[in-house]
Amino acid sequence: MNRKKVLLMGKSGSGKTSMRSIIFANFIARDTRRLGATIDVEHSHVRLLGNLVLNLWDCGGQEAFMENYFASQRDNIFRNVEVLIYVFDVESRELEKDLHYYQSCLEAILQNSPEAKIFCLVHKMDLVQEDQRDLIFTEREEDLKKLSKPLDCTCFRTSIWDETLYKAWSSIVYMLIPNVKDMESSLNEFAEILDADEVLLFEKATFLVISHAERHQHRDVHRFEKISNIIKQFKLSCSKLAAHFQSMEVRNSNFSAFIDVFTANTYVMVILSDSQIPSEAILINIRNARKHFEKLERESQQNRPAFGR
């Protein structure tokens, strides 16, 4: 089993548990209002792509808990960390204190898990006026990157009310997948065979985009996260009606799009500009490709490098 320890940290009320619940527990944004504050550390194990398990530590952000993490629990919390995700409330009135705690986290990471990847999420961006968002995020990003040295941090702007949350978590999960380059190489070959504009691979439970092949540039750089958000909401609506989401086809005069179960752990989406190609031709190709991608997943589970077809 390939276990990855992920710390989710930040001040109490910054939105850590809400985002975790949306991504991993099938909550919708409005339902997170009933979630209470996290007490101490909540552990959850999230299985992704067969043998990849995220050992997620959601750390309560009240001051008493934070001080305890850096003192008596320091080694336990910060040892063997693969990823630190630190969440900042963009509207916080105690930014200096937030940055102090973040710096304390970095010192503990440097001491116990110097190879850990660092992600900062500037959260609740929906509360900022739209014409101010780019400026405020850029300023925060610059400050956080300086503060994080000698470690590198990757920053994302996020909100539970739009697709930005999926963008951030897709990027984090992508970094943790052991054989993602093999998947991308195979997806590119698959896209060539189909003469597809794009092929996307989604993780089945979360509907995060974990790999993609793009043969024709698209003007909407946020389309993957929007698709994740829309399809996951539709999938949840199906489950409320005791129906199982299996596949979907969207077709108009400009394009055809197919979403189908792919492997035991993934869905695939194929987009083509040529809307005249028969559906059955695409679906046959998807079925034929399944065996190869299932093989890639098995090889990942055995921790062996994938080999060509």
Quote the pLDDT of residue 22. Answer: 86
In the chain, the largest separation of any two C-alpha atoms, in whole Å, equals 65
pLDDT tens, 108-138? 999 999 999 999 999 999 999 999 999 999 9
Quote the pLDDT of residue 301. Answer: 63
SS (H, E, C) 163-199: CHHHHHHHHHHHHHCCCHHHHHHHHHHHHHHHCCCEE
Q: Is the pLDDT confidence value at 305 over 60? A: no
Contact 301, 50 (CB under 8 A): yes
Torsion sign, CA atoms 3, 50, 158, 118: positive
Quote the pLDDT of residue 284. Answer: 92
Q: Mean pLDDT in the chain? A: 87
Q: Is the pLDDT confidence value at 309 over 60? A: no
Q: Indicate the range of 26-30, 78-82, 230-234 predicted with least confidence.
A: 26-30
Residue (of 102, 84, 108) closest to 172 by Cα position: 84
Query: What is the DSSP annotation of 19-42?
Result: HHHHHHS---GGGGGG--PPPSEE
Residue (of 247, 261, 163) closest to 203 by Cα position: 261
Local structure of residue 127 (DSSP, 8 states): G
Decide which of 305 and 299 is more confident.
299
Quote the pLDDT of residue 112. Answer: 94
What are the CA-CA distances from residue 30 to residues 34, 54, 160, 195 (Å)? Answer: 9, 25, 9, 40
Average of per-residue pLDDT across 208-234: 86
Give CA–CA dist 10/248, Å, rounded. Answer: 38
Contact 149, 262 (CB under 8 A): no
| pTM, full prediction | 0.84
Give CA–CA dist 132/25, Å, rounded. Answer: 32
Quote the pLDDT of residue 121. Answer: 97
Average of per-residue pLDDT across 87-98: 92
